[in-house]
Amino acid sequence: MLKSLHIGRYVIKPEDLRALASFLEAIGFQQVSEGDGRSAIFSAPVGLLSVNALPSEYPQQVLDHLKDVNRLIVLEVSNPDDVFEIAKKKKLKVLADSVSPKTGERSFSLALPGDIIVTVHGKPDELPEGMEGNLKAEGKRFAIVVSRFNAFITERLLQGALDALRRTGARRQDIEIMRVPGSFELPSAARMLASRGNYDAVICLGCLLRGETAHYDVIVNECARGIGQSGQDTGVPHAFGVLTCDTLEQAIDRAGLKMGNKGFEAALAAVEMANLKSVVNRQSSVDRQAAAGSRASGVGKKKGVAQTSRRKRSSRSRKG
């Protein structure tokens, strides 16, 4: 019985084949055979054989091109807008382009090299909703650990972090600042604060500049590892606001000049993660209550069955 389906399309010029292969690979086809320079075999996640009558409302330009229907390739995609942009970059001719007012599905036809027509249709996949934290710092407490080494940079990061916390609603009395000698001391200080259980998130700020020895690499690795480990062990979110730059100019750019302020960004991350933790805890509480209710309901049903059984036995005993 049927084992596979192979439908070929043929071009005359080798350059047309290369252009076709480039476009197909760009939109997600997998090349399964290298060929000999005159052929290429591609696979798609799903292959279908479709037999159709062309609708009369097709644009005449498309109908003219489809007199020889063997030239047509129909592709369904999950990101038609991205495919359209790829086609534009490759300077492919667009024959038709429309969006369904009912379904929101986009459909467009392209003229490919080798006199091949491809019709692309689809609509973006709807992503499932997920849990996330908002950027509201009201009622949250934050600790900021900042390195004194390279204070010219780290104090700017601190100002950026404080600005972000204030903008998101944190009160001054809900923010505690701890200064340490350098970035190497950030992890231990962050763990001290997180272990107290008084803070919803810890923000770590520092600046490391590459020197002529391996000292920079050692400190960077230990700093990043330690901060991450502290967050995982304590369960308190840690925001990483430590600059690791090759030059002072790069650090200045990231402390409020050309590249924004990484202290500001770290504080926003801390606020979001603190709220995300609250969301997860609430969801876990709801799940536990639902599970407890289910177990209680099961126990109640078992008790009811047992009581009914005892009443029946007692009734039979009296009759006897």
What is the SS3 assignment for 188? helix
Residue 215 known to be catalytic = yes
Residue 264 neighbours by CB under 8 Å, 6+ apart: 160, 161, 163, 164
What are the tokens at 166? 């204030």
DSSP SS3 for 32: strand
Q: How many residues does the chain have?
A: 320
Sheet of 93-99, strand order: 72-76, 116-122, 106-112, 93-99
CA distances from 288 to 279, 281, 283 (A): 14, 11, 9
Q: Is 120 exposed, middle or buried (0-12, 13-18, 19+ CB in 10 A)?
A: buried
Q: Identify the active-site residue in 6, 65, 121, 215.
A: 215
The residues annotated as belonging to the active site are 215
